[in-house]
Each structure stands twice: as structure tokens, then as C-alpha cells.
Amino acid sequence: MIDLQKLVRTNIRELISCAETKAEENVRDSQHIMLDANENPYNKPFNRYPSDNQTEIKEELAKLKGVTPKDIFLSNGSTEAIDMCYRIFCQPKVDNVVAIEPTCELYKRYAILNDIVYRSVLLDDSFQLNATALLNVCDKHTKLIWLCSPNSPSGNVLNVEEVEKVLKGFDGIVVIDEAYSDFSRLQTFRERLSEFPNMIVLNTFSKAWASAAIRLGVVYAQEAIINVFNKVSGLYHINQLTQEQAIDVLKHRYDIEDWIKILLLERKRMISAFASLACCEKVYPSNANFFLAQMKDAQSVYDYLCEKGINVWNCSNVSLCDNCLRITIGSKAENAEILGILRYYKPTT
């Protein structure tokens, strides 16, 4: 069992008790004359602050994902949720977090920004997790463990038994970033919320949901944790345009299913085509909408692609990714373009 009270920082506990004493919320709807928030009465509908509990989006998501709206918090991109995890649970200069390596770089960035010590444990050479090694570097000041599955830049899903060992063996919060889970077709930890009171799962509208521009992230956790996020978030942090667009996307989700199907077929095609390129050493298997390819000379291929106006990520300086490029699965036409261009690539030496 986790003691959520004890895990939350003392200043956040104070904030929550302040919020509880001043719970005399005004009802804000078009039936009322609203002279309480210093808004301009003109330029409807954008003159008013947006809905602060995003009820409609949460209800749609809850139906779709088989959870209740109380298990959902919406953030300004999952980037904001990552930052909030630090601000809620980690005391600067005192606490630390533990993450896998390599992984998404945002966890480290927000650790530094919040003045929290960031420890990482190297994955094995097939990018798999060893729960015991991870738990061994935790101490009494470790508040969060960061897992990302499917992981970036490696693209693989973490071994489920090892993730379960981490969830059961750690008495702080385990955050599982499932930004790419729509591409894995495997069971997610989001579907197992009721089993793990210390788990936070992150999703985003930026990848499979094709809505990176609106900046919308989704946090799933048991209600006790979600309540803390609700109390801590700024008022009106999800803007009106984003909320409207999110509802539209949720109502047209059949397009999304179709896009995912195409992208998965394209992933298969791209991975086998890459594996047979002369400049490619090895392609790692992927459960995401990108794959990691080890090249004979990543920098030279990267420069060549840049020159042709094709952007990929050269992650050669990332741990375990020596000479690797990370390539996103594009449209059929874009994928055909990069493959065609790489067939004409000539090594520089």
C-alpha cells in the first residue's frame, strides 16, 4: 500500500487544504450574468474563460478507454503532466527519481528544471528492463520511477513481468508513459488501473491521435492521485480551442483507427526495406510509429538526407544507440520517397 499523503510534498499538502476551505465555486454558464471574473462581455464565445473540468472530453475518453471520468486528468500536452509529477511529489534538492536509459528526454529535462536528482539504469542490449537493477538504485528519497512503453527511441514494449515487479516492489509512484501504446496492439497498463494504486499512466493526443498542435495530454490514475492533480493544476489550463478540437477528434475516431492500420502496414514495409539497404547495419523491432535503425555511418546518411530535405533524428549520441537513426513512419508517399533516395546513397569514403 502507498501512503499518498506522505508522498505528496508538504507545500502541495498545504495548497490542497487551502483549496478545500474555499470551495464556494460560482456556477458559470450562459444562464448567469457573470460579473465575477473581469472578462470582457463582447467577442463571444472567446471572451469567457473555458470550462475548467472538461466534462465532455473526459466522458468521451472514459467510455472509449473503459475507465471513469474521475480517473482522468487532462494536461497541456503530456509535457505539462511530466512537469506536474515533479512539482507534486518531489522536494527540490532532497528527493530523486529513477528512470531507464535510454528513454524519452523529457523526464531528465524536467528533473533538472525542478532541481531533482535524476538517476538512470541502463537497459540491456535489446532495450529490456531489469526490475531488480532498477529497484536497487532506489532509496528513501526516491519518489518517482519513470518507465516508457513502447519506449523511445528504441520502439519496443517493456517486458510486462518486469514492469509488474517494479510496480509491486516500489512504494513511491511509478509513471508509465504509454504515448505510443495505440501502435502496439498489446494490453496496456492503462487497462489495469484498478490493480495499481501507485501507478500513473500518460497518454497524449500528439501521436496516434494526430493532434500534436492542440497540446493535449491525458493522465490516468486512481481517483486519489487524480484529485491531487486537479487541486494543483492552474485554473483554465486547457484552452477553449483545444477542448473543442479534442471533442471533434473523439467523435471522428474511426479515421484514427484507419490511420493506425495504414501506419502499422507501412512500419512493416519500412523495416524490411531498411534492413536490406546497403547503408543499414541492423533494424530494431518496433511497437511504435517509428523504428530505430543502426547504420554503417549514421552521420553521413543523416547529412545526405538533410541535403535532400528529409528530416530524421540522429540519436547516435544516445546510450546504446551508437550509429542509430530514429525514423518516423510517414505517409505511403513519404516512405517511398526516403527509401528511393536512400537507394542512391553512396558512402563518402
Ligand X SMILES: *Cc1c(COP(=O)(O)O)cnc(C)c1O
Identify which of residues 134 and 342 has a Cβ nearer to ligand X in the complex.
134
User: According to CB under 6 A, which one of 120, 156, 198, 204 is a site residue for ligand X?
Assistant: 204
> CA–CA separation, 157 vs 22, rounded Å?
44
79 in contact with ligand X (CB under 6 A): yes
69 interacts with ligand X by CB under 6 A? no
| Residue of 174, 116, 112, 172 whose CA lies nearest to 146 | 174
- Mark 191-202 as b/e (b = at least 16 C-beta within 10 Å): eebeebbbbbbb
- Interface with ligand X (CB under 6 A), residue total 13
Smallest distance from the beta carbon of 288 to ligand X, in angstroms? 8
Q: Of the ranges 77-85, 246-254, 276-284, 322-330, which one interacts with ligand X (CB under 6 A)? A: 77-85
Residue 334 CA, distance from chain mean position: 25
List all residues 6 or more positions away from 224 whose beta carbon is below 8 Å from its beta carbon.
4, 197
Please select the residue that binds ligand X; options are 145, 158, 179, 318, rule is CB under 6 A: 179
For ligand X, the closer CB: 149 or 335 = 149
Show contacts of 209-214: CB within 8 Å, 24+ apart.
Answer: 209/182, 209/249, 209/256, 210/249, 210/255, 210/256, 210/259, 211/245, 211/246, 211/249, 214/241, 214/242, 214/245, 214/246
> Which residue minimizes CB distance to ligand X?
77
CB atoms within 10 A of CB 258: 10
Q: Are strands 142-148 and 173-177 parallel, antiparallel or unpaired?
A: parallel
Among 90, 142, 217, 270, the residue binding ligand X under the rule CB under 6 A is 217
Report the site for ligand X in 106-125 (rule: CB under 6 A): 106
182 binds ligand X (CB under 6 A): no
Residue 21 C-beta: closest distance to ligand X, Å = 33
Mark the segment that binds ligand X (CB under 6 A) among 165-173, 204-212, 220-228, 313-321.
Answer: 204-212
204 and 218 in contact (C-beta within 8 Å)? Answer: yes
Which residues ranging from 7 to 66 are in contact with ligand X (CB under 6 A)? none
CB 341 within 8 A of CB 310: yes
Stretch 139-178 residues interacting with ligand X (CB under 6 A): 148, 152, 177
Q: Tell me 42's DSSP state.
A: S
Site track for ligand X across 80-109, x = CB under 6 A:
------------------------x-x---
Our CB check for ligand X shows the closer of 203 and 335 to be: 203
Is 206 among the residues that bind ligand X (CB under 6 A)? yes
Least distance CB 338 / ligand X (angstroms): 20
Q: In angstroms, what is the minimal distance from the CB of 80 to ligand X?
A: 7
Which grid coordinates belong to 259? 490511420
Please give the Cα distance from 158 to 152 (Å, whole number). 11
Give the H or E element holding residue 329. none
Enumerate binding residues for ligand X (CB under 6 A): 77-79, 104, 106, 148, 152, 177, 179, 204, 206, 212, 217
